[in-house]
Amino acid sequence: MQVFNGAIQCKLLDDDLVARKKVLKETIFSQVIKKEESLNGFTYYFKDDPDLLASVFEHVQIEKACCSFFKFDISILPFKKGFAVQVSGSEDAFEMIKKFEASDL
């Protein structure tokens, strides 16, 4: 279990967390076409791909099970411009997102 700043904790053990991060970076974050920082989080933009959207939904469900402190907002953009996923939370959760993004694995 990873505790971040004593306030939030991921339910995965260290080895499982490393493996999960690798999967996310290879399957989801490799598909991001644009990223914007927002209040206590980031918004990630993806191409218009129904299979990718289904995969993102699946990964969000998994993340909610181990990291219930994150807030996820998924927006389907008009005119086949893809979809966006905003991941946010408390200041500690935002720091955890930034740490994840900075890691090379």
Helix/strand/coil (H, E, C) string of 49-104? CHHHHHHHHHHHHHHHHHCCCCEEEEEECCCCCCEEEEEECCHHHHHHHHHHHHCC
Q: Would you state the pLDDT for residue 56?
A: 95
Task: Report the pLDDT value the prediction gives residue 38, as an integer from 0 to 100.
Answer: 85
Nearest CA to 88 out of 8, 22, 25 is that of 8
pTM of the model as a whole: 0.82
Q: What is the CATH number of the domain that holds 64?
A: 3.10.28
Low-confidence stretches of the chain (pLDDT beneath 50) = 1-4, 6
Task: Please state the domain count of the chain.
Answer: 1
pLDDT given for residue 12 in this prediction: 66
90, 40 contact by CB (below 8 A): yes
Could you tell me the residue range of the domain that residue 55 belongs to? 2-102
